[in-house]
Amino acid sequence: MSKTFMVVAETRDGKLRQVSLEALQAAELAKEDGDQVTAVLLGYELEGPAEELARCFQGRVLVVDHPDLKSYLAETYISALSQVLSSITPDLVLFGHTTVGRDLAPQVASRLQAGQISDVTAIENSGGDIIYTRPVYAGKAFEKKRLIGGSGIITLRPNNITPAGPASSPAEIAAFDYTPASSLRSVIKDVVRKATGKIDLTEAKVVISGGRGVKSAEGFKPLEDLAEVLHGAVGASRGACDAGYCDYALQIGQTGKVVTPEIYIACGISGAIQHLAGMSQSRVIIAINKDPEAPIFKVADYGIVGDLFEVVPLLTQEFKQA
Ligand code: FAD
């Protein structure tokens, strides 16, 4: 029997998030001939993102475009998704493992009485069985799981699956007739974002992270310069956040964000297990630390023993010239 895959796509500042294209690709990896993929896009003024999404797969983009959905609010988004789910019965719903995805997925799982697997990093169809891989023990090991019976929900960790690319023929775009909830509800008047850089940390291809070794808020400046040259984002250890050198929004690790960039440069970070939990799956790890015994060197692909205030500006200078 053919299956229906539903990808819940997200936008940020009017642009489609890359993790949504990765979730589409995950659906492609899981599906078999005859299976259907529907991408659901919720928000306001979605023409551009809907077209971008449609270019990347064969199937259907269901657009729920309404002023009430301009900013994410669990109650309005779940109301809209519930309406969509009354017209589709998906076998598998895929979310990005983002703040929004992590909030919505369990609510949808509860409504559908479905099993959920979170933080999936790989997906494969093995003779009709869909196998999901996810990290356990703070990234020290991976487990493979299957969902048994009925519908299933997964959230997908960003930057682990190649995003879906242009399809030979685009998906059909259909508008969903959303009925706003008439009862009393919360309304978002304004969104004030903390200044955390132009590039989303969890989706950045390059992350330059600072630890207690940066010594002050000003100490992050050389890291920001390097990030600018490499089109990357700046992150931090909890040590740096606790010391007040930067905002907690930058914290990477067990109790912070999980990142899996192509290049992770750790500057003045010792490499505590709780920090490694958030970055050890990065493709290439470069550590800069003046202590040759620092544990970060055990997970690093390249290590530079030296003072970050000398090494980082040199790297910036070299990359500028490259
Ligand atoms: P330190 O351990 O103090 O290391 C600083 C490093 O900088 C040293 O290795 C030093 O050699 C180097 N250094 C100093 N000066 C220079 C210089 N000029 N040039 C180059 N190198 C220099 N931590 C996280 O990061 N993320 C988490 O999510 C997190 N969650 C936690 C949850 C729990 C429940 C607990 C108990 C802890 C958690 N921690 C987390 C904290 C963690 O255990 C470490 O304390 C923290 O990661 C240390 O930060 P750090 O490496 O910046 O500081």
Q: What was the pLDDT predicted at 219?
A: 97
Nearest ligand 1 atom, CA 237: 25
What's the CA gap between 321 and 184, in Å, rounded?
58
Task: Name the residue of 201, 202, 209, 212 whose CB sits within 8 Å of the most ligand 1 atoms, as the mutation to test its pocket.
Answer: 212
What's the CA gap between 97 and 230, in Å, rounded?
25
* Residue nearest atom 15 of ligand 1, based on CA coordinates: 213
Q: What was the pLDDT predicted at 277?
A: 93
pLDDT over threshold 90, residue 214: yes
How confident is the model over 155-169, as a mean pLDDT?
Answer: 93
Strand order in the sheet with 92-96: 115-120, 152-156, 92-96, 4-9, 36-43, 60-65, 172-175
ipTM at complex level: 0.99
DSSP string, 37-87: EEEEEEESS-HHHHHHHHTT-SSEEEEEE-GGGSS--HHHHHHHHHHHHTT
Task: Name the residue of 215, 223, 275 whose CB sits within 8 Å of the most ligand 1 atoms, as the mutation to test its pocket.
Answer: 275
Q: What was the pLDDT predicted at 128?
A: 87
**Does the CB atom of residue 105 touch ligand 1 within 6 A?**
no
pLDDT over threshold 80, residue 185: no
**Does the CB atom of residue 212 touch ligand 1 within 6 A?**
yes
Ligand 1 midpoint to CA 141 (Å) = 22
What's the CA gap between 88 and 102, in Å, rounded?
21
Nearest ligand 1 atom, CA 288: 20
What's the CA gap between 6 and 286, in Å, rounded?
37
14 residue type, one letter: G
**Does the CB atom of residue 291 touch ligand 1 within 6 A?**
yes
Torsion of CA 269, 157, 76, 196, to 10 degrees: 30
**Does the CB atom of residue 213 touch ligand 1 within 6 A?**
yes
**pLDDT over 90 for what percent of the chain?**
86
Ligand 1 midpoint to CA 237 (Å) = 6
**Does the CB atom of residue 211 touch ligand 1 within 6 A?**
yes
* Residue nearest atom 29 of ligand 1, based on CA coordinates: 274
Q: What was the pLDDT predicted at 121?
A: 95
**Does the CB atom of residue 254 touch ligand 1 within 6 A?**
yes
Burial of 165 (0-12, 13-18, 19+ CB in 10 A): exposed
pLDDT over threshold 70, residue 195: no
pLDDT over threshold 90, residue 65: yes
pLDDT over threshold 70, residue 196: no
Q: Which residues of 169-205 are buried (b: 16+ CB within 10 A; e: fewer)?
A: ebbebeebebeeeeeeeeeeeeeeeeebbebbbbbbe
52-56, 94-98, 150-154, 288-292 — which is least confidently predicted? 150-154
66 residue type, one letter: H
Residue in the structure block whose two tokens are 């494969």: 124
> With bands split at pLDDT 50, 70 and 90, how would you rate the model's confidence at 197?
low
**Does the CB atom of residue 11 touch ligand 1 within 6 A?**
no
pLDDT over threshold 70, residue 209: yes
How confident is the model over 3-19, as a mean pLDDT?
Answer: 95
Q: What was the pLDDT predicted at 13?
A: 86
**Does the CB atom of residue 135 touch ligand 1 within 6 A?**
no
> With bands split at pLDDT 50, 70 and 90, how would you rate the model's confidence at 139?
confident
Closest CA to 120 of 149, 90, 153: 153
* Residue nearest atom 28 of ligand 1, based on CA coordinates: 253
**pLDDT over 70 for what percent of the chain?**
98
Q: What was the pLDDT predicted at 54?
A: 97
Nearest ligand 1 atom, CA 252: 26
pLDDT in tens, 262-311: 999 999 999 999 999 999 999 999 999 999 999 999 999 999 999 999 99
